[in-house]
Structure 1
């Protein structure tokens, strides 16, 4: 784990997407070397699921459910695979993934590249044992004539083996996808997904950070009425705060450290809009135990990260989880739930 700072300069000589694929290939050849970080203070419950700790791997790293067990072995309390679409698709033209090293950030315009839900389902079937919850993030094919039908199809197919499902309608890299966040369309989408579930499963909704106050209130109301179990706040942003990297003007969604302030503001906004009635998962710009703890105290029941791994390596999840336990103990909390919104 501690070798990563020494390896990073060499990794960064390789194109970002190729480096990512090499990492997945290496992990596939390696059995899980550990288990989720556990401490009595870190165990938490959400939507009927038990999480060894509240630090999760966000969707996007393991798009095709190739290495969820290995990532749980790095200390994550849960892993979200995907985004998976009903049919395989190549995604957008390359290059489409950019490191912004000067900003500890990433810009991607991947476009839901994945091998399709059927292949991922086969891989999940072969997982003999799960050390923590594995969520499945579902999306619509870019050329779909009926995107709501795609989400319903994904729910029908993947719910059997997913511990929870995430409806991803907030990626900026599939044209028109974010329009499904509006009231009438969102209600129709949730109705379609819920009615398609072959077995009861928690359903999370992943929203964009680029929302106006009226949109936040509307999403919160429709999500609560529609039976959503949690909101993931938030996906990548199309906004551009001041950035130093020469890649700053690349099109796509920005993630990493520069997203932190926007993400925490949206977390607070949704905490207010939901009145604490709907659990929140915070994602975007989390790279330390201090940041994760701040999100929990701002109202997040769980946190997710991905981009920070690019800069800090695979030991990050375990470091954050241990740091969270130290902070909870220091401040006199008996568990994570007590600190949520504190």
Structure 2
């Protein structure tokens, strides 16, 4: 039935297929609770234990409707959202396009979501058992909020959802909300971090991360890295990277002409470049989460060796279905045995350590 259902989804309009898959999980028709992960897959980061380093990236569960159903696929953590203070419909349809021959997706969804109150109702009622996986919340601003007031939006969502999240991620890099990427500019970025930190209740110690664009220049990445280390504006981590507006020459599908953010295999090389750039500056001080083009155990291990502590997938899941998650973990264990790696924790940053040695 699983291959048949996946084939059905691939025959549908992409956004309708996405909505159907979420509703299916919400009705309890998804995977059952998987067996415990092999302890060799566990990693410690942000003062938390992740049963495995593989996470679902933001954009799938936009409204925090099925975080636990997604965890039952076997993820170590899932990221819900992006979530804005007020509900918003997003951009006009069609706004989601498959490029199957390229292993890619283009989206210009525009952060469509039901708003923070709906997300609060769901997240505040779910039991939080860390041994079943962790939930990150992706925070964003409403499309009609001026850039000069964007920090207020992020602070508002953080104050409401922060107590019910294991991680908070500032979405500063979606290409589908006009002007949003300006928030990666140093002064604006500092303002967002400062406002969010001030808005969190004093008893809440949730780690704060920022998700950055793959389209930043080296100078822009240097500035972000420097801010992440500032004593007055610390970030607990960075997510590298969001979707790209670039269109590699390798793309063959007619939908390559569509505007929006490109994800999947064509983003693989650039996301690794950004990870290596940031790891060279932040490894050992600011943890990194790598996302973009990951579709194999080899990719996961390469990202960890390059300095990432966690790795996320999304586009690969669209094409391979939920069976991909246990397969990746099985393949990863086999790869670890082949390379004599006893624990994934020990693999993190080994390429950097080798260079330093």
Give the TM-score normalised by the residue count of structure 2.
0.92
Partner of 2:184: 181
Structure 2 counterpart SS, 1:303? strand
Query: 5 Å matches for 1:1-342?
Result: 3-4=2-3, 6-30=4-28, 33-35=32-34, 38-130=37-129, 131-145=132-146, 146-198=149-201, 199-225=204-230, 226-242=233-249, 243-342=251-350
Q: 1: distance between equivalents of 2:297 and 2:341?
A: 16
Offset of residue 36 of structure 1? 7.1
Whether the aligned pair in 2 keeps the contact of 1:43 and 1:53 (CA below 8 Å) is yes
Distance in 1 (CA, whole Å) between partners of 2:102 and 2:140 is 29
Partners in 1 of 2:338 and 2:161 — Cα distance?
41
Provide structure 1 residue ranges, at least 5 long, that are not aligned to the other structure.
Answer: none
Structure 1 residue 318: Cα displacement: 1.4
The 3 A distance-change label for structure 1 pair 37 and 227 is: farther
Offset of residue 329 of structure 1: 3.0
Q: 1:51 deviation in Å?
A: 0.5
Aligned mates of 1:164, 1:129 — CA distance in 2: 13
* 1:12 CA drift (Å): 2.0
Verify the 8 A CA contact 1:36 1:74 in the aligned structure 2. Answer: no
> What's the offset of the Cα at 1:321?
1.8
Is residue 135–residue 165 contact of structure 1 (8 Å, CA) maintained in 2?
yes
Find the aligned partners of 2:280 and 2:104 in 1 and give their Cα distance. Answer: 28
Change (3 A) 1:62 1:37: farther
Q: TM-score, normalised by structure 1?
A: 0.96
CA RMSD of aligned residues (A): 1.4
Deviations 1:74-117 (A, max 9, x none): 11110110000000000000000000111010000000100001
Distance, in Å, in 2 between the alignment partners of 1:290 and 1:187 is: 36
Q: Is the 8 A contact 1:138 1:168 kept in 2?
A: yes
Q: Give SS of 1:150's match.
A: helix
Q: Is the 8 A contact 1:88 1:116 kept in 2?
A: yes
Distance 1:257 1:182, change over 3 A: same
Contact 1:37 1:318 in 2 (8 A): no
- Alpha carbons 1:103, 1:257 under 8 Å: kept: yes
Q: For each residue in 1:105-130, what CA deviation from the matched residue of structure 2 results, as whole angstroms up to 9, or x when unmatched?
A: 00000001000011011111221343
Query: Which deviations, in whole Å up to 9, do the C-alpha atoms of 1:27-71 show, x marking residues without a partner?
Result: 111166123761111111111111010000000000001111111
What stretches of structure 2 of length at least 5 have no aligned partner?
351-357
Contact (CA 8 Å) 2:42, 2:345: kept in 1 or not? Answer: no
Measured in 2, the distance between the counterparts of 1:334 and 1:154 equals 40
Distance 1:275 1:22, change over 3 A: closer
Choose between structure 1 and 2: higher helix proportion: 2
